[in-house]
Amino acid sequence: MIIDFHVHTAFYETTTKTYRDLIRRSYGDKMEAFLKTYSSPEAFIELMDQAGIDYAVILAELAPITTGIADNEYVAEFCSKSPRLIPFASINPYTISRPDQELERLVKDNGFQGLKLYPTYQLYYPNDAMIYPLYAKAQELNIPVSLHIGSSVFVGSRLKYGDPIYMDDVAVDFPDLNLLMCHSGRPFWYDNAFGIARLHKNVYMEISGLPPHKLLDYFPELETIAHKVIYGSDWPGIPTIKENIHAIKDLRLSDDAKEKILGKNAMRLLNVN
């Protein structure tokens, strides 16, 4: 079982220049064709099949200052094509007065199965009181919350919001809420991310956007918390999902640890089998 816990849509309703530039650097003059192809879920499912991925978490993104907008409606429609595509909602607390009600609507009426927060793009600390109603609602609805925790290359990001230390408050105040630290504190705070994931039973390290062959350099004791580590690719920012997965399979870890990282831990959080 392989679950990719971190996939962005290729299609964004609006994108910022800095986001487009990054995609262009990866795809060159094939960018237009790429965007067109992968605005279709069928094409993405084909990519999943080639890489041996069973399920993928598809992330909405409401971050107009830094990357752009892939709205919840598009992601819901995209994921409606297959139960293997699992939609995660985006809510920007600066643009809505009752974010908790919005989350409830998206989960109950539109089938969203998790929430993605972007502190460094949406400009708040993960432990800001403004976000607490969202955590309370997610805990009540029994859905996981992924947060961008680490650096970003996009202009307008504020890196101070990406330090894993702020997850400590959230983990303590919402002990029954499963929290994922996407990018695991890249690159300044790997030790913080590891320490927080080891300490709190409800906090996971999600390793998208990290070069897999470097994982054991960043986290020499990864094996000891393999039950708290979750695979994600960060596609399309990382174009080569298949190679990415192979690199994890090649790591000097036990088979049991690799199985947990690539799928078993995620299965638990997403209630899939």
Nearest residue to 51 (alpha-carbon basis) of 193, 259, 262: 262
State phi, psi for 145 to the nearest 5 degrees: -120, 125
C-alpha angle 122/124/128, rounded to 5°? 140
Task: Report which DSSP code applies to 32.
Answer: H
Distance in Å, CB of 6 to Zn ion, minimum? 6
Phi, psi of 97 (to 5 degrees): -85, -35
Complex with Zn ion: residue 74 or 257, whichever CB lies closer: 74
Q: Which is nearer to Zn ion, 57 or 143 (CB)?
A: 57
The count of chain residues that interact with Zn ion, using the rule CB under 5 A, is 1
Considering beta carbons, is residue 24 or 198 the nearer one to Zn ion? 24
Identify whether the C-beta of residue 163 lies closer than 8 Å to the C-beta of residue 185. Answer: yes
With contacts defined by CB under 5 A, name the span among 39-47, 67-75, 168-176, 229-237 that binds Zn ion: 229-237
Q: Which is nearer to Zn ion, 100 or 154 (CB)?
A: 154
Nearest-CB residue to Zn ion?
Answer: 234
Q: Is 234 in the site for Zn ion (CB under 5 A)?
A: yes
Is 4 an interacting residue with respect to Zn ion (CB under 5 A)?
no
- Applying CB under 5 A, which part among 42-50, 115-123, 227-235, 264-272 lies near Zn ion? 227-235
Radius of gyration, alpha carbons of the chain: 17
Distance of alpha carbon 52 from alpha carbon 55, whole angstroms? 9
The reply on whether position 61 binds Zn ion by CB under 5 A is no
Which residues would be at the binding site for Zn ion (CB under 5 A)? Answer: 234
